[in-house]
Amino acid sequence: MLVKSQVKYIQSLGHKKHRDEDGVFIAEGPKLINELLNATQLQPVNLFATREWLEANRSGIFEKEVVEVSILELQRISFLTTANQVMGIFHKPIFPEIEIKGKITLVLDNIQDPGNLGTIVRIADWFGVQHIVCSQDCADVFNPKVVQATMGSICRVQVLYTGLQDFLSAHGDIPVYATSLDGTHITDMSPMEEAILVFGNESKGIGAELMHMIRNKITIPGRGEAESLNAAVAAGIILSHLVR
C-alpha cells in the first residue's frame, strides 16, 4: 500500500530540482522497467508494482524495495495517461568521464520537446553513439516523458549538459557538422569514425553564435515541399549515412 508521503515524493520527482537533489529518476511500464533492472549501471531505489507484475517477476531479489500497489494507486502516482503495472525510482546512471576522440558525438542546442529528446537518445543507441552533449536549455533527459521515449536507451547513452561554445572550443580538432539547406548532400558523403553533429531547436534551429563556429554544413536532399524535417528524424537520417 502507498502512504501519503510516497505519493508526494513521487510527484515531486516530476520536477528537475527534486530529481537533481536526490540523483534519481522515474520510469514506468513492464518493458522499460525490466530493461532498466537488467542494466548494470542502474540501481533501483523503489519499485511500485501491481500483483500482476509481481507474480510475473518473482525473482525475489527486489523484495526489499518493492511496494505492492493496486492499479488505482499506481494510476495516482503515474506520469502516464494510463498507468502500466509498475513504476520504478532509479538512481541516475554513473558513467565514466566523457571521451569523444575517435567517436561520433551528437550535440543538441536547445531541444525542447521531451519526445524529440528521448527519440534522439534512442536513435543514438541504435547507431552506437555513446555521448550526447546538450546545451543547458535543452529538456532534462531525466524528465519522465523523455525517459519513456528513450525506451531504455537512457541506461546506455551518456547525456551531458554544458555550454556548447566552450565544448566545441575544447574539441577544435574534431570536425563539426550541422544541417543546413545549402550544405553538402548527405548522400554524397562517406561514412566517418569521428565527428561532432550539431542539431538545433525545433523552431529556431541552431543559435547564431554557435552556428558561427560550425564550418561543415550537411543537407538532406528532398524533392518535395516540406520546409524542414523534425530534429530527431534528421539525426536518424544523418547517422544512417555516416555510421558504418
Residue ranges that bind a copy of itself, judged by CB under 8 A: 115, 119, 122-129, 151-153, 156, 186-187, 220-230, 232-234, 236-237, 240-241, 243-244
Nearer to a copy of itself, 39 or 45 (CB): 39
Instruction: Tell the residue number behind the cell numbers 536549455, with chain if given.
Output: 137
The answer to whether residues 237 and 229 touch, using CB atoms and an 8 Å cutoff, is yes
Nearer to a copy of itself, 51 or 185 (CB): 185
Q: Which amino acid is at 81?
A: T
The answer to whether residues 152 and 32 touch, using CB atoms and an 8 Å cutoff, is yes
Nearer to a copy of itself, 44 or 152 (CB): 152
The bridge status of strand 104-108 relative to strand 131-134 is: parallel
φ, ψ for residue 77, nearest 5 deg? -100, -5
- The CB-of-68 to a copy of itself minimum distance in angstroms stands at 26
- The CB-of-151 to a copy of itself minimum distance in angstroms stands at 7
- The CB-of-77 to a copy of itself minimum distance in angstroms stands at 22
Name the E strands within 51-116: 66-68, 86-91, 104-108
Retrieve residue 106's grid coordinates: 551528437
Q: Burial code of 73-83, b = ≥16 C-beta within 10 A, e = fewer?
A: bbeebbbeeeb
- The CB-of-200 to a copy of itself minimum distance in angstroms stands at 16
Nearer to a copy of itself, 47 or 238 (CB): 238
> CA-CA distances (angstroms) from residue 178 to 75, 140, 159, 185?
42, 22, 19, 12
- The CB-of-229 to a copy of itself minimum distance in angstroms stands at 6
Alpha helices in the chain, H assignment, sequence order: 4-12, 16-22, 30-38, 51-56, 71-77, 114-126, 144-150, 164-170, 208-211, 231-242
Nearer to a copy of itself, 44 or 236 (CB): 236
- The CB-of-56 to a copy of itself minimum distance in angstroms stands at 18
Nearer to a copy of itself, 109 or 125 (CB): 125
